[in-house]
Amino acid sequence: MQERVRSAQLYEEAKKHIVGGVNSPSRSFKAVGGGAPVFMKRAEGAYFWDADGNRYIDYLAAFGPIITGHAHPHVTEAIVRAARNGTLYGTATEGEITLARMLKEAIPSMDKVRFVNSGTEAVMTTIRVARAATKRNKIVKFAGCYHGHSDLVLVAAGSGPSTLGIPDSAGIPVSIASEVITVPFNELDGLKLALERWGDDVAAVMVEPIVGNFGMVMPKPGFLEGVCRLAREAGALVIYDEVITAFRFHYGSTQTFSAAFPDLAAIEPDLTALGKIIGGGLPIGAYGGRREVMEQVAPLGPAYQAGTMAGNPASVAAGIACLEVLREPGVYARMESLATRLTGGLAESAARYGVPLTINRIVGAFSTHFCDHPVTNYDEAQDTDGELFARFFREMLERGVYLAPSKYEAWFLTTAHTDADIDATLEAAEASFKAIGQ
C-alpha cells in the first residue's frame, strides 16, 4: 500500500491558490469519494510517478492525447527542436501546412483546416461556422456527449427530446441554452421529433460519432447514417466532434474507420472538430470541413475566429511527430491485442468475485461499467454503480494502477504499454475485485 503524504500536503497548498486545488474538475477525486488527488511529478512511457515517488501504470493517457506514451523520444525531440527555434511567432509557418496536409490526407472530408488551441475552441468554432453557413441558429446535440465547456454545448436535455435545453452550468443564460436541443444517442426518434419541430432553424446536428464521454459507446448500425440523412433533409449541417476519436482507433477518424463502418460515404460530416492526439501532448485543436463551408471563416468569409497561440510551432511539431509514430505499421493492432487481453482478464476477475461489469472496447480503448446491462446510451451509462467504481478505483490506485477518476471515463492503451504492464494490471485487478466483491 502506498504513502501519499506529499500529495496530501500539495493538495492543501494548491487549494489556497488554485480553485478547488485543480485546473480542471475532472482531475479532482470528487467523483471517487473525494480527498486529495494524486500530484504527479514525472512521466515516461506507460508510467507516471507521484510527488511521493510512487509509480503508476497509466491508463488515463491525459484523457486521451498521450497515445504514444509519455515523453516518447520522437515527440520529445520534435518539441525540443521547435523550442530552440522559438516558441511563438504570430506569423504563418511551414509546419502548419505539414500538419494540415497530414490531417487532410487522413480525414478527406476536411478540404480546409484551421488550427486553434483546444477541443473546446474547435467545437465552439464549428458551431459558429455552421450558423454562418446556414444562417440558422439552433444546434441539436446528443445526451451525454461532451463537447468542451463553451456555453452552447454545456446544455442538458430539457424534460424530453421535444423540449429545448436547460443550462448545465451556472453562468449560461437560458436564452443561449434555448438554442440547443438535446436528444438521446443511438436512436433516431428523438432527433426526428426535434427536426420536425425546429428543423428550419437548426444550423447543425453535432455528435461524437463514437462516444468517449459516457464510456466508449459505438453507434448502433445505421445510427450515423440516419443522423446525416435526417440532418441533411432538414437543411442542417453535420458536425462530428472527433476530439477523442481521431487517430484513437486507426490512422484516421470515425468517418474513415472502414473496419467498423461499411459505407463511409453515408457518414461523412460537413465539419469536424479535432484536438487531443493531434497535438502529441501539447495544447492544440483544429477544425475543418467542406471548402464552401470553411470559406465562411475570416479572412475569407464573415465568420470571425482568431488566436494568438493558434498553430503554435511546438504543438504543431509535437502533433506531426505523434502522427508519424502512429503511421508505423502494426501500432493499432498491438494496442488492440493488449486491450483485448486486458479486458478479457478484467471480465474474468470481476465474474470470479461476483462484481457486475460491462466492458465496451473499441480497438485499444475501453470503458468499464459496473452494471449487468449493456451500455449504449447515456441513461444506461448513468444507471451503473458509481460507488462500486469508486472503491475499485481506490483499490487499483493503491496497487499502482492509475485510472481516470470517474465512472464515465475510458481506459486508454498507448504504444508504450507492454505485456508485462497488462500482467501487472490484471494482478492488481484480481486483488481489487476480490476486495470489493461479495
User: Binding pattern to ligand PLP, positions 20-59, x when CB under 6 A?
Assistant: ----------------------------------------
Residue 288 lies near ligand PLP (rule: CB under 6 A): no
Q: Least distance (Å) from ligand PLP to the CB of residue 21?
A: 19
Which sign, positive or negative, has the C-alpha torsion 148, 152, 156, 160? negative
CB 75 within 8 Å of CB 421: no
Q: What residues form DSSP beta bridges with 205?
A: 140, 238
Number of residues that bind ligand PLP (CB under 6 A): 15
C-beta of 246 vs 396, nearer to ligand PLP: 246
Residue 147 lies near ligand PLP (rule: CB under 6 A): yes
User: Binding pattern to ligand PLP, positions 103-122, x when CB under 6 A?
Assistant: ---------------xxx--
Q: Among residues 37, 148, 161, 280, which is the contact residue for ligand PLP, using CB under 6 A? A: 148
User: Which residue type is seen at 68?
Assistant: T
DSSP SS3 for 315: helix
Q: Distance from CA of residue 7 to its chain's centroid? A: 27
User: Binding pattern to ligand PLP, positions 227-256, x when CB under 6 A?
Assistant: --------------x-xx------------
Q: Least distance (Å) from ligand PLP to the CB of residue 159?
A: 25
276 classed as catalytic: yes
DSSP conformational letter for 401? E
Angle, CA 269 vertex, CA 410 and CA 142 arms, to 5°: 50
Tell me which residues in 194-213 interact with ligand PLP (CB under 6 A): 208, 212-213
> How many Å apart are CA 131 and CA 158, to the nearest integer?
22
In degrees and rounded to multiples of 5, residue 306 shows phi and psi of: -150, 175
407 classed as catalytic: no
Q: Give, in order, the Cα–Cα distances in Å from 13 to each of 8, 19, 179.
A: 9, 11, 41
Residue 146 lies near ligand PLP (rule: CB under 6 A): yes
CB 121 within 8 Å of CB 307: yes
Q: Could you tell me the three cell numbers for 226?
A: 440516419
Q: Which of 11, 47, 146, 332 is catalytic?
A: 146
Q: Least distance (Å) from ligand PLP to the CB of residue 112?
A: 20
- Binding residues for ligand PLP, rule: CB under 6 A, are 63, 118-120, 123, 146-148, 208, 212-213, 241, 243-244, 275
Catalytic residue numbers read 146, 241, 276
